[in-house]
Homo-oligomer: A and B are copies of this chain.
Amino acid sequence: MDVTPPSTSLSTTARTRLGRLRERARLDRTALYEVLDAGMICHLGVIVDGAPTVIPTGYGRIGDTLFVHGSTANRGLRAAAGAEICVTVTHLDGVVLARSIFHHSMNYRSAVVYGRSRVVDDPGEKIDALRAISERLAPGQWDVARPPNRKELAATTVVAVPLGEASVKVRQGPPGDEDADYALDVWAGVLPVRQIFGEAVPDPLLRAGIPVPPHVARRWGTP
């Protein structure tokens, strides 16, 4: 795939330049936004005491900045503050069943973001970041739920990483088998995988007479 104009292209560094399977790479910023904006959790990679640590957590995006948050007491997040981090978002779209074991694969969309993080200290930016994180997981809730108070804000660390160095990979479609294997009497194709929402389950402690709000109810059944 050709590199799109500089204004929308992602930097290509040694670690984001795909050595293999170049056809899976997407080099435009729009593809990065699409992968990030379709997810609810990321996997945050940090080095803790010299060892890699991978933590699932929520995230949000504002423009070309990615935010992750967590308790100020969280070891991984403490290690992430001001450090080189990696944030990966993956969507599994299908199991690719080939005629050979070797060519079994997955259909997926993934974004891997690398960068040095900074702790978000500015109160305005922190609120904006928390809103972005909240809206990613639970769109519409920011407008109806009680906002964070001073104590809650103090108990929450938000770190930001620029969307400067990232790699986006997308694999879709049928298996690619060896020529000779197409003659085999083996079924091949794709088993699609989707993430869906179930029907909202009210908190047993919910006060009577509060219906499921439309912004929650309408997610039911959607991917």
Contacts and interface: CB of A to CB of B under 8 A. Distances in A.
A186 to B, nearest CB: 6
A84 to B, nearest CB: 4
Contacts of A130: 101
Interface of A: 14-15, 19-20, 40-41, 43-56, 58, 71, 73-75, 84-88, 90, 92, 94-95, 97-102, 104, 106, 108, 110, 112, 114, 130, 134, 137-138, 141-142, 144-149, 152, 156, 174-175, 181-207, 210-213, 216, 219-220
Q: Quick one: which of A19, A55, A148, A199 has the most chain B CB within 10 A?
A: A55
Given A56-B108, A203-B175, A74 B20 contact: yes
Given A100-B145, A193-B195, 16 more contacts: A19-B75, A41-B90, A41-B106, A41-B108, A45-B86, A50-B84, A55-B88, A55-B112, A101-B141, A102-B148, A186-B210, A189-B201, A189-B212, A190-B201, A193-B197, A194-B196
Contacts of A86: 45, 51-54
- Which applies to chain A's interface (DSSP): helix, strand, loop or mixed? mixed
A196 B197 contact: no
A207 B63 CA distance: 47
Contacts of A145: 97-101, 104, 186
5 contacts: A43-B56, A56-B110, A146-B186, A185-B207, A191-B219
